[in-house]
Chain A
């Protein structure tokens, strides 16, 4: 069990202690209740009929036979649910079911509710849809060709969803004056989150048109809004509840069609309706990482100091908007860190194609450019006869840095991460000195710890919390944060326990229920620990204040001299002057009624100075940092790359629960390794041919490298208990660390993912004999 180094000067009793996850036992034994485990009386099963065409006009949908099938209670088609929605509310493009046109193979065209799954499946077969096929565009290049049919007819006659430009400084001049400029092309493939629990939603309408929706979602609030919009009922009559959730990684960060269809079918039938996706439906609806073509120039001076980055990308967006524009500008913002770059130019185009929509996925916007840039810096350093470590360290940002985009880095221990990982892994001793076929590679990264803006204009706090303390039920923390498996419930409980000076076991956290928990934007952008943590800490401090008032009178000391520790409220100066925490709670309630308090958090609003496209996107209250060293062995006869070991050093501020941090880091490393070596959604013609976890290869336990993680000494004084993110930063360096190690092993730079054995072998065959 690891304890986080404590540099805050505080002697914490709960924070920084590695506590086993409260939900681990339930999940491991199968006791945890996921949405699909829920059953309600008279519940119906819903299913969605999907398009076999990538691009076609819907001429007619005949549902008569399906409706006549015994056991079928309702059939829904797109025109009956016409309100468009999208995670970016200003530009809605999606509907519960396609209305007059399908835009990818697997798009929903009709939904049924029936007494059981077999009947529902049979009913789907009886629905007859007449299509008029249109030309399908499967790559951004095809979709951009002259005369291509617009996939969305409301567009200005082409398939460009958005073209983004940002320019800071004088990139052309900086490049022309650079001592060395490296220019390269990169490509990243289409990958899916492969969360273990497929989407599932259960809808129930009560008397008076009140909807309750249980769903596997990261974003109860945006789901709440969207249900109101699409169903046309006020938000006040809707309650969204998150049961146990089996992962999201961004893929459940948008409203999914099963949630809307279940609600429509429940309303129509007056019975609860559940729709759970098959694994192939998860792949069809995707919202995974954008495939990106990147053309990049990086210039450095003779000492390896970064002068400019010129970045151009073509993003394959798939059929709908989703998080697309946010992903694009996140990508733009990612160029400015974790190194000091005075001149930066970004040009990006996100293009519609007739494929499943791409969206948010762990580390969004960062993974693709980080892969490219960290391998380029490796190459540049070696060209300059410099250690990649030295080059990265020279350019690394420190606390108080402001980027050209105006991101403010209030706290960074990135240099410490680099130093620590290089030392622990023996990088300097090994790089360039291992036998042919073995290699070691270094990469570093940052990620935003939250986001400065909501997706729609709103001024209310991004996170809020309510704490209720009473002698009967203990400490109850209510917060809207969505625990999707990352462990935020435990983090919030530990923050409350630390602040109130009670053991963690005295605290119960209630989260992710719009009916009982106060407002929170949801789980994305690695925002929860900092944002919701602030709110919980503030609420707990307010509880203390109320209790200190009671204790001050009892103990005869001034309230501001009191502190809460080990279940006691005591004087900071005279430990003898103390009273039991619960005694104080009892006295407070007897005298003043229920003991409750609220807290809330709004991040500092920052944007790019001046008028810059997408200039609000990518600003965060604080940033996490990480550095990794990968060691690989390449089988030079088969091309197999085996990652033997990954050493990681992370700056996540003060770790609230080091065991959870370790889990996030290890999960990130395995996920990144999957994209580096194994994973790809493969299309043959217009359909995905591996929409299953057999042929879509995520790493198995047999592929796990040895992983050695360490949390560096760090404390962000403006964060709750000094904490920062650790859920998305650690995926950023994985791919380039592995690819830099492959270069060290066999002298080949790969610029396209995934690096399959076949590509490795081909490259080895082409390699000039040395």
Chain B
């Protein structure tokens, strides 16, 4: 296999998981689907001394919905399960739009939502969608739990807010009202199996006058971590949901992004595309609202 030696545990209960995590301190990595972690270990970018496989933990898998509250997705839920869930399509459409573009069918069959979040790639598909939808994470460990907004989980490039003994337990996406619109869009160099040039999640709440009461615009692949384009959100807030304003928000979002040159595209091109994709995502969200 070409993997360096490591200790391997496969707990059957959450209690055992917590015990293992606290015993190993910072030495352990959680192995979920392995689609990122094993590739990184094989490539020599990480060499954790301990791997804790959560594949047996049924308590970390599943999607549930509470009417009027929102949708909870446990961290160990497979991306394919999210993609195939009618509940997700109905209640969290933007997340569905994101997961169906994650990797290949083989990758989606193995990868988990928690893995995609904790791997913290700046271009992770699920993150802009989850941030835009105002999702919260539940982090557990050391006998307690805490909640935080998705966007504050990311501290820096591939750095997340997980202390020793902690693990990501679940994601909660609040119920969307019938006057909110959301969408996920990305720009790829080919139709599948891509690290995106830019990915965009948008959400807004419409007031009784048809204006934007509140907006969230989340961007991936154009900064060291996924982030909210607060200035672009401000541009939209209080304004009519019009193409002109979507364009304007796109322009501002573009100036808030800080992409780099790489093999997939120049920083200049990415900034240009942020403008286009933010405007398009807003337009798409607005259409979803009209159709609902």
A residues neighboring B (CB under 8 Å): 117-118, 121, 637-640, 678, 682, 689-690, 694-695, 697, 699-703, 756-758, 761
B276 x A637 contact (CB < 8 A): yes
B190 x A699 contact (CB < 8 A): yes
Q: In the assembled complex, which residues on chain A have CB atoms less than 8 Å from the CB atom of B273?
A: 638
Q: In the assembled complex, which residues on chain B have CB atoms less than 8 Å from the CB atom of A639?
A: 269
Q: Nearest chain-B residue to A636 (Cβ)?
A: B276
B187 within 8 A of A: yes
Mask: chain B, 180-201; 1 = CB below 8 Å from A; 0 = not:
0000000101111111000000
Q: Nearest chain-A residue to B187 (Cβ)?
A: A638
Q: Nearest chain-A residue to B264 (Cβ)?
A: A695
Given A638-B273, A703-B192, 9 new contacts (CB under 8 A): A639-B269, A689-B263, A695-B263, A697-B189, A699-B191, A700-B191, A757-B265, A758-B265, A761-B272
Cα(A50)–Cα(B97), bound, Å: 43
A678 x B189 contact (CB < 8 A): yes
Give the shortest distance, in Å, between A596 (CB) and chain B (any CB): 48
> When A690-B263, A758-B269 are in contact, do A702 and B2 touch as well, CB less than 8 Å?
no
Q: In the assembled complex, which residues on chain A have CB atoms less than 8 Å from the CB atom of B190?
A: 678, 697, 699-700, 702-703
Q: In the assembled complex, which residues on chain B have CB atoms less than 8 Å from the CB atom of A689?
A: 263
Q: Nearest chain-A residue to B39 (Cβ)?
A: A694
Q: In the assembled complex, which residues on chain A have CB atoms less than 8 Å from the CB atom of B265?
A: 757-758
Mask: chain B, 195-211; 1 = CB below 8 Å from A; 0 = not:
10000000000000000
Sample 10 A-B pairs with CB under 8 A, ordered by A number.
A640-B187, A694-B193, A695-B263, A697-B189, A697-B190, A700-B193, A702-B190, A757-B189, A758-B265, A758-B269
Q: Nearest chain-B residue to A684 (Cβ)?
A: B263
Cα(A367)–Cα(B149), bound, Å: 53
Cα(A120)–Cα(B135), bound, Å: 48
Give the shortest distance, in Å, between A672 (CB) and chain B (any CB): 15
Q: In the assembled complex, which residues on chain B have CB atoms less than 8 Å from the CB atom of A695?
A: 263-264
Cα(A273)–Cα(B266), bound, Å: 45
Cα(A761)–Cα(B272), bound, Å: 10
Q: Nearest chain-A residue to B104 (Cβ)?
A: A700
B192 x A702 contact (CB < 8 A): yes
Give the shortest distance, in Å, between B110 (CB) and chain A (any CB): 16
Q: In the assembled complex, which residues on chain B have CB atoms less than 8 Å from the CB atom of A640?
A: 187
Q: In the assembled complex, which residues on chain A have CB atoms less than 8 Å from the CB atom of B272?
A: 761
9 closest A-B pairs by beta carbon, nearest first, are A702-B191, A702-B192, A703-B191, A700-B192, A637-B276, A758-B269, A697-B190, A703-B190, A700-B191
Q: Nearest chain-B residue to A674 (Cβ)?
A: B190
Mask: chain B, 138-165; 1 = CB below 8 Å from A; 0 = not:
0000000000000000000000000000
A117 x B187 contact (CB < 8 A): no
Give the shortest distance, in Å, between A710 (CB) and chain B (any CB): 26
Cα(A694)–Cα(B192), bound, Å: 10
Cα(A695)–Cα(B269), bound, Å: 18
Q: Nearest chain-A residue to B195 (Cβ)?
A: A694
Cα(A635)–Cα(B264), bound, Å: 18
B269 x A761 contact (CB < 8 A): yes
Q: In the assembled complex, which residues on chain B have CB atoms less than 8 Å from the CB atom of A702?
A: 190-192
Cα(A640)–Cα(B2), bound, Å: 38
Give the shortest distance, in Å, between A279 (CB) and chain B (any CB): 12
Q: Select A118's contact among B2, B187, B266, beta carbons within 8 Å.
A: B2
Q: In the assembled complex, which residues on chain B have CB atoms less than 8 Å from the CB atom of A694?
A: 193, 195
Cα(A166)–Cα(B269), bound, Å: 44
Contacting residues of chain B (246-292) with chain A, CB-CB under 8 angstroms: 263-266, 269, 272-273, 276-277
Cα(A298)–Cα(B277), bound, Å: 42
Q: In the assembled complex, which residues on chain A have CB atoms less than 8 Å from the CB atom of B266?
A: 758
> When A118-B2, A638-B276 are in contact, do A756 and B189 touch as well, CB less than 8 Å?
yes
A682 x B191 contact (CB < 8 A): no
Q: Nearest chain-A residue to B4 (Cβ)?
A: A118
B191 x A117 contact (CB < 8 A): no
Cα(A121)–Cα(B273), bound, Å: 43
Give the shortest distance, in Å, between B23 (CB) and chain A (any CB): 28
A121 x B191 contact (CB < 8 A): no
Cα(A117)–Cα(B1), bound, Å: 7
Q: In the assembled complex, which residues on chain A have CB atoms less than 8 Å from the CB atom of B189?
A: 678, 697, 756-757
Cα(A694)–Cα(B265), bound, Å: 15
Give the shortest distance, in Å, between B284 (CB) and chain A (any CB): 14
Q: In the assembled complex, which residues on chain A have CB atoms less than 8 Å from the CB atom of B195?
A: 694
Give the shortest distance, in Å, between B139 (CB) and chain A (any CB): 31
Q: In the assembled complex, which residues on chain A have CB atoms less than 8 Å from the CB atom of B192?
A: 700-703
Cα(A637)–Cα(B2), bound, Å: 44
Give the shortest distance, in Å, between A704 (CB) and chain B (any CB): 8
| Most chain B CB within a 10 A radius of its CB, from A117, A640, A699, A702 | A702
Cα(A758)–Cα(B259), bound, Å: 15
Give the shortest distance, in Å, between A691 (CB) and chain B (any CB): 12
Give the shortest distance, in Å, between B131 (CB) and chain A (any CB): 23
Q: Nearest chain-B residue to A635 (Cβ)?
A: B276
Cα(A117)–Cα(B192), bound, Å: 32
Cα(A689)–Cα(B276), bound, Å: 29
Cα(A702)–Cα(B186), bound, Å: 15
Cα(A689)–Cα(B193), bound, Å: 18
Give the shortest distance, in Å, between B190 (CB) and chain A (any CB): 5
Q: In the assembled complex, which residues on chain B have CB atoms less than 8 Å from the CB atom of A699?
A: 190-191
Cα(A695)–Cα(B189), bound, Å: 10
B193 x A682 contact (CB < 8 A): no
Give the shortest distance, in Å, between B217 (CB) and chain A (any CB): 18
> When A697-B190, A700-B191, A701-B192 are in contact, do A682 and B2 touch as well, CB less than 8 Å?
no
Q: Nearest chain-A residue to B2 (Cβ)?
A: A121
Give the shortest distance, in Å, between B46 (CB) and chain A (any CB): 18
Cα(A678)–Cα(B188), bound, Å: 11
Cα(A340)–Cα(B263), bound, Å: 42
Give the shortest distance, in Å, between B123 (CB) and chain A (any CB): 12
Give the shortest distance, in Å, between A122 (CB) and chain B (any CB): 10
Give the shortest distance, in Å, between A645 (CB) and chain B (any CB): 15
Give the shortest distance, in Å, between A27 (CB) and chain B (any CB): 17
Cα(A498)–Cα(B191), bound, Å: 43
B193 x A117 contact (CB < 8 A): no
Q: In the assembled complex, which residues on chain B have CB atoms less than 8 Å from the CB atom of A121?
A: 2
Give the shortest distance, in Å, between B265 (CB) and chain A (any CB): 6
Cα(A37)–Cα(B187), bound, Å: 38
Q: In the assembled complex, which residues on chain A have CB atoms less than 8 Å from the CB atom of B194?
A: 697
> When A700-B191, A702-B191 are in contact, do A117 and B2 touch as well, CB less than 8 Å?
yes
Give the shortest distance, in Å, between A669 (CB) and chain B (any CB): 15
Cα(A703)–Cα(B188), bound, Å: 11
B276 x A682 contact (CB < 8 A): no
Give the shortest distance, in Å, between B109 (CB) and chain A (any CB): 16
Contacting residues of chain B (75-132) with chain A, CB-CB under 8 angstroms: none
Cα(A699)–Cα(B272), bound, Å: 24
Q: In the assembled complex, which residues on chain B have CB atoms less than 8 Å from the CB atom of A701?
A: 191-192
Q: Nearest chain-A residue to B198 (Cβ)?
A: A638
Give the shortest distance, in Å, between A36 (CB) and chain B (any CB): 15
Cα(A758)–Cα(B272), bound, Å: 10
Contacting residues of chain B (199-246) with chain A, CB-CB under 8 angstroms: none
Cα(A695)–Cα(B190), bound, Å: 11
Cα(A356)–Cα(B167), bound, Å: 45
Cα(A700)–Cα(B273), bound, Å: 22
Q: In the assembled complex, which residues on chain B have CB atoms less than 8 Å from the CB atom of A756?
A: 189
Cα(A702)–Cα(B105), bound, Å: 12
Cα(A117)–Cα(B42), bound, Å: 13
Q: In the assembled complex, which residues on chain B have CB atoms less than 8 Å from the CB atom of A761?
A: 269, 272
Cα(A278)–Cα(B245), bound, Å: 50
Give the shortest distance, in Å, between A553 (CB) and chain B (any CB): 63
Cα(A476)–Cα(B28), bound, Å: 60
Cα(A700)–Cα(B193), bound, Å: 8
Cα(A757)–Cα(B265), bound, Å: 9
Cα(A758)–Cα(B263), bound, Å: 12
Give the shortest distance, in Å, between A112 (CB) and chain B (any CB): 14
Give the shortest distance, in Å, between A755 (CB) and chain B (any CB): 12
